């Protein structure tokens, strides 16, 4: 059965015990921490600092490009998502609306 990692929006709170188990198996680097918290070059994050003209994704101008959108739906990162899903049994779960 796949493990689950939860993503909470807009800000991550203290993880639940199941999340500790999954995150405990990951080598935590600054890049991983920035990605999981949405502070790693996502357009919505860069827009907050006026480094981008818009917070919306290039593939869908109606969608914010944040960490959850990139991991779940963004067509720009489709290949990377497929490659990541093939090499792991971890599912990403939105902490508020269930399985992604």
Q: For residue 18, report the phi and psi dihedrals to the nearest 5 degrees.
A: -60, -35
- Number of compact structural domains in the chain: 1
pLDDT at 96 over 90: no
SS3 33: helix
pLDDT at 37 over 80: yes
The pLDDT of residue 41: 92
The more confident residue out of 85 and 46 is 46
Provide the residue range defining the domain that includes 25: 3-99
């Amino acid at each position: 059965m796949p493990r689950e990692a939860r993503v909470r929006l807009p800000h991550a709170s203290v993880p639940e015990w199941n999340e500790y188990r999954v995150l405990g198996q990951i080598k935590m680097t600054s890049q991983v921490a920035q990605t999981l918290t949405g502070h790693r070059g996502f357009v919505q994050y860069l827009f907050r600092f006026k480094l981008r003209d818009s917070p919306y994704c290039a593939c869908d101008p109606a969608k914010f490009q944040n960490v959850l959108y990139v991991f779940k739906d963004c067509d720009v990162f489709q290949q990377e998502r497929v490659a990541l899903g093939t090499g792991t049994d971890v599912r990403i779960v939105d902490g508020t609306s269930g399985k992604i």
